[in-house]
Each structure stands twice: as structure tokens, then as C-alpha cells.
Amino acid sequence: MKFREPVGIVAPLRSPMGKLGGVLASVEPFALFAHVLKAVSERTGSRRPDEVIGGNVRNSIGNITRVAALEAGLGVDVPASTVDRQCASSLEALVAAAARIQAGMAERVLVGGVESASRCPWLFEKTARAYAYFEPRPYPVHLAPESMGDPPMGETAEILADEYGIEREAMDRFSVESHHRAAAAYERGDFADEVVPVPVPGRHGAVNTVDRDETVRPDTALEALAKLPPAFRRDGRVTAGNSSPLSDGASACWAASRDALQADGLEPAAWLTGAVTVALEPRRMGMGPALAVPRLLEEHGLTPGDIDLFEINEAFAAQILAVNRELHLSPEKLNVNGGAVALGHPFGATGVRLVATLVHALRRRKLRRGVASLCIGGGQGMAVLLETP
């Protein structure tokens, strides 16, 4: 829907992304989130937020946002909550913050998300009968009822590849381009204002500073990707090389009303003007942006030609290629600094990561409008519209 009043976005930031078991694996998820929350708070003059809302999928058996807010030193009197809309969890947190601001329930909200694939807990079933025991077995996490089909995420990408006739080579070529765009963005310094370096304890008391995405591979080549085996079907096309990697990372931003920004003397990096959420068949969940983006534009009386840049999450190369068979977006407008195939996809953090990447890209290019969107496990999609001042 189109917001009655735009919501200001200040200091959209993210951590560098670490790969599963990689450079950020030793960092507790709440501590990683706290580091980025603190960076946003410092850039807004350490003002007190009315509350903190964060997204997380697999690390928040407790309320991880509250723990992170306390760790960040935001004050024991600042409330916090954690939301889960799978891959769109932090975007849901941002939209929830905007809704509270629109409703007059808050003026300033610190928003973000975190995910650590490296520190994701193992979940096991317990017996339904008290004090009965059996050999441990994994707890099944369902994104849809079995009666509707509940395929793993990789299989949903294979389903779209079947439906749209997307060949393995096209997926691999897209993945190579994503890595090359991300590497070029680093060389240009495009991520300098977006990425918050993270200190990581090393051996013998040393501290290593991580300031670059571990998941970006500048030397990625089509020949190397072509040698990788299918990951989900014996005769499939989806591989580890043309999928987003399991990742560790955090993102955050400040969301505030126009009156609050004026009172605090803050200039927004962008205005959030609207958002939509859609739903579709769980087995075709990757097409969420193909439904969400047109509806968002229609509600604002806009066309794709009115949008300068799009950031659409690359859960899988097959998925983003299928989405663009419907949206017909120019490569010059879509994921200009690479996407999740290269940058990583820490589920709870990706939504605001998309916003941060989009806002900084718009400002560097002196452009006006951008759309961020992503698909959601279980068959949903979200999209938001942002405008630079």
C-alpha cells in the first residue's frame, strides 16, 4: 500500500557477509547484530529509539533483538521484538516499524535483522508423552503443509527452471555476472559507506577486522561453475555455484517520521513510501517478486520505466531469471552491484541489506526511485518503494 506519509530511512548499514563456517563463525549472532545496531545509533547521534524491531529465522529461540539491543548499549528501557517472515524478516521489521510510525505509536524505530548460518542450532524432536525417550531425530521445519507440497528451497528453484525452460548455462552465466558486479563494486568503493567492518577475535589475543564479503569470488568463471554437481536433483541444474550461499550477516537502519527527523536535525538517506506483501503457491515461492513488484507499482501509479534501480534478492539464479521473465527488467537496472548469489543471503538480515544496497546505489548515481523485493519461503513475496530526497 502507499503510505499516508513517507517514513525516513537514515544510516542503512550492514555487516560484511561471512560464509558458513567462515570468518564470522566465531561471532555470536546477537553480538553481530548489536555491532551494526550500534553503528546506526552512532550515526544518528546516539538518539534513543522508541523501540527496536529485528528479523531472524533460525537463531532466535529467545528474543534475539532484545539481547542485541542490550549488547549495543541502547538502554534497558528500550523495548525490542523479533519477527519472522523467513527471508523477508528484516524487511517485515522495517514495514512493521513504518506502520507503527504511521499509526502514531512510535516516532523513531531502530530496525534490522541478523542470521548466522554458522551458529544455527540443531533442533531435535521430543516425545509427545512425558518422560518417554527415543533415539534423537531432527525436528522437521515445515514452510507449508505436506498436503500442499513442502519441497526444499532448492527444489522450488528446479520447479521454476522446469516451468520457464531455464538452462544450466544461463544460471551459471548469471552467477558469474553477479560475482563480477560485486567485485567491481568493491573496486569502485561502492560498498564503503554501506559495510560496517566487524572486529573478530583471533588467536593469541589478536583482533582481525572483517571489512569485505567473504562470499564474493572475483575469479568466478563459467568453466569452474559448469563442473559443479547438481545440489538438489540427481539430474538437476541448481548447484552450489548458482545459488546464494548460506551466510552470516546483519543489517540495520533508522526509521523515523518527518517530524522526528526535523526535530533531531537528521537528513534521510531515503524515504520509504510504500510496501506490499503477496502470497502464492509454496512450491513456486521464488516468483514472489513477480507478483509483489507490479502490485507495488500499480498502487503508486508507476511503471517499471519510472524506477531507476531494482534490488531483487537472488535466492537462486534460476529463481531470479524466472522472475525477470515476467518483469522484463533491464540488466542496467537490476542488482547493479551484484546480488545474493555473490553477496550472500543471511535470511534474517537480507531484507534491510537490500534496502541498504539500493539506497547507497541510488545516492551514488544521483538517481531517485528504487524498488527492493524478495521471495519468501512458504510462498510469499514482499516489495518496498524508496525515493531519495
Active site residues: 87, 345, 375
Task: Give the CA distances from residue 322 to residues 58, 204, 206, 225, 371, in Å, rounded to whole numbers and listed in that order.
Answer: 27, 49, 46, 20, 18
CB within 8 A of 182, min separation 6: which ones?
213, 216, 337, 338, 339, 342, 343
How far is it, in rounded angstroms, from Cα 93 to Cα 374? Answer: 14
268, three cell numbers: 534521510
Alpha carbons 312 and 323: distance in angstroms, whole number = 9
| Residue labelled with grid coordinates 524491531 | 53
Q: Using CA of residue 78, residue 10, residue 91, residue 27, what is the dihedral sign?
A: negative
**Nearest alpha carbon to residue 49 among 93, 1, 2, 3:** 93
Nearest-angstrom CA–CA distance, 197 and 151: 37
Is beta strand 18-19 parallel, antiparallel or unpaired with respect to 270-279? Answer: unpaired
β-sheet bridge partners, residue 210: 198
Q: H-helix or E-strand containing 293?
A: helix 288-299
CB-based contact 54:66 (threshold 8 Å): no
Using DSSP's 3-state secondary structure scheme, residue 56 falls into coil
Residues in a beta bridge with 243:
316
Most distant pair of Cα atoms in the chain: their distance: 64
3-state DSSP assignment of residue 344: coil
Quote the distance between the C-alpha of residue 20 and its chain's center: 16
Spatial distance between the Cα atoms of 79 and 295, rounded to a whole number of angstroms:
33
Q: How far is 383 from 310, CA to CA, in rounded Å?
A: 10
CA angle centred on 75, ends 116 and 264, rounded to 5°: 100
CA atoms of 317 and 319, how far apart (whole Å): 5
Cα distance between the two ends of the chain: 20
